[in-house]
Amino acid sequence: MSATAFVSSPAKEKGATDDIAVDLYPFIREYKGGHVERFLRSPFVPASEDAAGNRGVATKDVVIDKRTGVSARLFLASRAAAAAGERLPVIVYIHGGSFCTESAFCRTYNNYAKSLAAHTGALVVSVEYRLAPEHPIPAAYDDAWTALQWVAALSDPWLADYADSERTFLAGDSAGGNIAYHTAVRASRDCRLMDIEGLVMVHPYFWGSERLASETVRDGVSMFPPELVDRLWPFVTAGHAGNDDPRINPPAEEVASLTCRRMLVAVAEKDSMRDRGRQLAAHMRDCAWSGDDVTLVESEGEDHGFHLYNPLRATSKKLMESIVQFVNQRSVLPLPAAMLPELHELHGYGGNKTSEEGETDDCDQLTLSVPARPYIDIFGYGMAMKNWSGRKSMASGCLQIGLGKTSNTRYGLSLGGVRPNKTNRLALPAAAPGSSIIKNFF
């Protein structure tokens, strides 16, 4: 998902809300009759095994489970496949979309997974899982687990011919990052399946009733205003869980149970979910097994999902470079990583919680200036999403694909056990003795 201005629903503006049961515009709207209207959705893109006509990456669609309809799109870079005697790492990728929108077959995620395969040289398996509200959580978790079992069994000729099963990565963005995390937890508990080499979570979707610092920011253009996020998890769980559900707010002891060898978490400075990702990475830091194998990448001046809609931005390129290095690293040296925060630095000012009515208690809040540089909408989303091609028609929504500014990805290289000091109200880590901060200007 991209950074998108949070605007009121067109239905509300027209006063036509009588038939609406749940309004989570600009993502989804559910009507009392059961009809679902999805706004944040990009057009269907067919697979093609013609790598030459597909920027060097062959793609094909496979059905994993006929009963549930779980399927996947495979991405194989021709250059990597041609490497003599070299088996490829496997990335099981799980798309985002708040558990209720988008698809592995849509233009956004087809293009991203194709780029991921081309840059990493990995065989990418992009999972098509069932969406809420038609299929509430835990359907998405079950589907991802089914897909991982399918990959572990080398159930497709591309996997059998090219995959290095000892280098299997779970990856995802936003809701997909949450699903990837829980799939890794499940794999950690089932030692019969396979070892997970690494876990990659980009702008992962985690939440809680107690506000962290990044969740108190109200700038008027955030992709995920806290008031909207508060309503998403109850919606995708069909009202069966609240925001302290351990599936959306995992306890530290569960994080410690992970057995994957390495983890990368990417966060964006203006993302309201930023500190949830930083908190998760901080918990990972204290795991006995982790050592230096926890990497945190922070993209300054960016919001949730910016890399999907603006892959040519400098920050998007640096994020991709970080993932490429993470996937292809085979030494024990730590990757360039932001200094991990202390947990107390992440809590919201005043430790406020949301009330039962969903309102936020008064607290000291941050106000960020509106970014000056607009996003370059290279995929042509503009003000109206196109209908889902080849599927049930979805009404277009009037969306503005957010605003951004010239920005840089922040890295720090930890050379020891030194912890950073809190130097500003955003609780971003500062360079400390034993660390280096590298900013890249383009």
Q: Which residues are catalytic?
A: 174, 271, 304
What are the strands, taking DSSP E only, across 66-192? 70-77, 88-94, 123-128, 163-173
| Structural tokens at position 87 | 């088996």
Report helix angle 314-328 to 107-120, nearest 10: 50
Give yes or no for a contact between 110 and 69, defined as CB atoms under 8 angstroms apart: no
CA atoms of 1 and 141, how far apart (whole Å): 20
> How many other β-carbons are positioned within 10 Å of the β-carbon of residue 326?
24
Count of H helices and E strands in the chain? Answer: 11, 15
The amino acid at residue 27 is F
CA atoms of 183 and 169, how far apart (whole Å): 11
User: What 3-state DSSP class applies to 222?
Assistant: coil
Residue 117 to residues 85, 174, 323, 328, 377, Cα–Cα distance (Å)? 18, 19, 11, 12, 22
CA atoms of 436 and 207, how far apart (whole Å): 30
Q: Per the omega criterion (within 30 degrees of 0), is the bond before 26 cis?
A: yes
DSSP for 352-420 reads -BB-TTSPBPP-----PPPPSEEP--TT--TTBPPP-TTSS-----B----EE-S--EEEEEE-SSPPP
Could you give the residue ranges of the DSSP H alpha helices within 124-273? 139-152, 157-162, 175-189, 226-236, 252-256
Sign for the CA dihedral angle at 250, 256, 258, 264 comes to positive
Of 354, 62, 41, 94, residue with least CA distance to 211: 354
Instruction: Measure CA 45 to chain center.
Output: 21
CA atoms of 363 and 349, how far apart (whole Å): 6
